[in-house]
Chain A
Amino acid sequence: MAEKSGADILIEALLAQGVDTVFGYPGGAVLPIYDALFQHPKILHVLVRHEAGAAHAAEGYARSTGKPGVVLVTSGPGATNAVTGIADAFMDSIPMVCITGQVATNLIGSDAFQEADTIGITRHCTKHNYLVKDPAELGAVVAEAFHIATQGRPGPVVIDIPKNVQVATAEFDRHGNNAAKRYVPAGDADFAAITQAVELLAKAKAPILYTGGGIINSGPDASAALRELAALAGAPVTSTLMGLGSFPASDPAWLGMLGMHGTYEANMAMNQCDVMLCLGARFDDRVTGRLDAFSPNSIKVHIDIDRSSINKTVRVDLPIVADVGKAIRQMITIWNSRKLQAQKLDEWWARIKGWRSVGSLNYPASQSEIMPQYAIERLFQLTKNKAPVITTEVGQHQMWAAQHFHFDAPNKWLTSGGLGTMGYGLPAAIGAQMGNPDALVIDIAGEASIQMNIQEMGTASQYRLPVKVFILNNEWMGMVRQWQQLTYESRYSNSYSDSLPDFVALAEAYGWKGIRCDDPAKLDDAIAEMLAYDGPVMFDCRVSKEANCFPMIPSGAAHTEMILHSDEVSGTMDDEAKALV
């Protein structure tokens, strides 16, 4: 068999995995790989403007298509710049394979130019990582890396390839790889346990389905199965930030998002339920509030593919390690074969109706200025027929988008949930647009977050990507300001967005269209103008400056202690609460 260079083997191995798009940035230690890419036009390389953008773009691509995102960056700063995106993918379980260049093996450890210990740095923010020292290993490593990244609980895998390994030759047989016999994730649920879960659900008088990003990671059928199960059980459904879209927001059983900025009805139902079925969620601190007051009287069933997510923060009564989509299908089969009937849940639904009547997402209306919630509502109403893909940055605008934009299908909502990375939204939108060329892709941003990866505007221009960036511009790092108002008696330390660019002029400088609007009466027309433009648009939506994001469970509080919009909020907190993030 003919020998190939390590770089050629890498490209062949990527093609064997079905890779057609790579997000990257060249540099000294990946020049051989870039030369090999030059000879393989089947792989489209998207040149970003900063390696963080490459990693987030790969995340957006992965989350919106269900396929793994692929990143290619150079050694040293190339790799370290990508680390935030890698850590983000790790927290949010996004399948990603990140290929990093490394200095030649004989230079490793010598503090060579652009050398960094990429394997050491990424060891604890990847599912697995590899330093490949022989091109003969490369084919098997790439195959196993894709297997690990995509199977089980998805996540990022880093392959660090020294430059001399890219140049050296070895044999490669693209059919000869046995991908990953050593990594075998959970599949079907244990029959006895899943039967018990079905029985608990059927006997429940106040059940709730608490769903998360695992439903989306399990694939579109998991979302379909979730609808069937919810209908059989007649149970209300809530979801984490990461799970939005897995259950249709237009369904009467939908309670809205739960947690810190979740709806009153979702949080009260979590608190008062008698059976909680947690499906592919992980009892994150943003969801549970104060742990010792979290849903005190419920029997908790937790289905998750990652054993370490079970009993990590909340002790559950029935742990089930399984692929959540398969487990839900098993539950439906058992339910139907036993011809089970749900309990009469009228009383439970009546209580939920009472909580809904609180109207926790209401906000003060204004004729004179655009309320940020109103802006999201209008954006939703004017785009919902186009089933847009929405990305966000991190902060108030993200929570308002989660509350006021509604999703009926999975893979349409891309946000940085676990790591909370400002600067995620624009590159994620670029990745999503690459993977969904005909989709309407909108990054709902804040004026502070957007500046964290604003250089990626150039990427959108270069690849003619018609992404829309909808900035809720309130001239504050709004969530920081809100917390300072709540916790630090309105001492606004460094949270004002001073010296902002003129976003319209900036858009034009990059060859985008820029739109500015500060009048609620003109907002619909301005949004229509944005949607009508066949190219990238930056929309500077000037909103009410000191609006707060409510409802809110303050740090260290229980689900029953929500602050609603009308309550008095300014003040301080004790040290125990201040110490919580």
Chain B
Amino acid sequence: MHIKEEFAERHVLTLTVDNEAGTLARIAGMFTARGYNIDSLTVADISEDHAISRITIVTKGPPEVIDQIIAQCERLVPVHKVTDLTDAGPHVERELALVKVSGAGDKRVEAMRLADIYRARVIDATVSSFIFEITGGPDKIDTFVALMRELGLVEVGRTGIVGLMRGSEAS
């Protein structure tokens, strides 16, 4: 007998939660405890009085598992609202990455040229290295990082995505 793999689709969930000790552990741990995937997770407080945080989770699973994930999140006391951006309709997703590239000569020039094309900003420079700051959808960042890999990529830091619904309504 072998362990079976299941078909999975990617969903972006946003949660508004009480900004209190343990909330993040409660949510992240629930994913682990129930065997759900987390591709990325971002969290920051978003209200004037620091009482509410917004968490964006990118997860993968079959549709019925995604439905369970939402229900399990809603069941947690500090979770006020869960929105499945992927299901809810048009939305924007953005991620920020810092990309350190080291090299000299043609490679250094090419890295600079590609950064310009991808609208990445240089936020640190030495005679032999750059740190680029790039924002965009995950695909754009993946592509940029892949290009830099050939030009002397040293390391990458990524925030994971945040997302909002398009239009005038709150998600």
Give the B-binding residues of A (Cβ under 8 A). 119-120, 123-124, 127-129, 131, 148, 182-183, 306-308, 310-312, 315, 575-576, 579
Contact = CB atoms under 8 A, between A and B. Distances in A.
B170 interface: no
Which of B22, B72, B77 has the largest count of A CB atoms less than 10 A from its CB? Answer: B77
B45 interface: no
Given A123-B29, A315-B64, A183 B77 contact: yes
B47 to A, nearest CB: 14
Contact of B30 (A124, A182, A311, A576): A124
Contact of A310 (B18, B71, B78): B71
A131 B26 CA distance: 13
Nearest to B80: A182
A119 B75 CA distance: 18
B22 A123 contact: yes
B64 A182 contact: no
A307 B64 contact: no
Contact of A307 (B21, B33, B74, B77): B74
A127 B30 CA distance: 12
A131 B29 contact: no
B1 A307 contact: no
A311 B26 contact: no
A306 B74 CA distance: 10
B127 interface: no
B142 interface: no
Nearest to A315: B64
Given A127-B77, A576-B1, A312 B25 contact: no
Interface string B68-108: 10011011111010000000000000000000000000000
Nearest to B67: A311
Majority DSSP secondary structure for residues of A touching B: mixed
Contacts, number: 40
- Across the A-B interface, the 4 shortest Cβ-Cβ residue pairs: A308-B71, A575-B1, A128-B77, A124-B33
Taking chain B's interface residues, is the majority helix, strand, or loop, or is none over half, making it mixed?
A: helix
22 contacts: A119-B22, A120-B25, A123-B22, A123-B26, A124-B29, A124-B33, A128-B76, A128-B77, A129-B22, A131-B21, A148-B77, A182-B77, A183-B77, A306-B75, A307-B71, A307-B74, A307-B75, A308-B74, A310-B71, A311-B64, A575-B1, A579-B1
A308 B1 contact: no
Contact of B25 (A123, A310, A579): A123
Contacts of A308: 68, 71-72, 74-75
A376 to B, nearest CB: 37
Nearest to A133: B21
Given A120-B25, A182-B80, A307-B75, 5 more contacts: A123-B29, A124-B29, A131-B21, A308-B74, A311-B64
A128 B22 CA distance: 11
B22 A312 contact: no
B118 to A, nearest CB: 41
A424 to B, nearest CB: 22
A252 B77 CA distance: 42
Contacts of B71: 307-308, 310, 312
Contacts of A315: 64
B22 A131 contact: yes
A315 B68 CA distance: 12
Nearest to B30: A124
A182 B18 contact: yes
A552 to B, nearest CB: 23
Contacts of A312: 68, 71
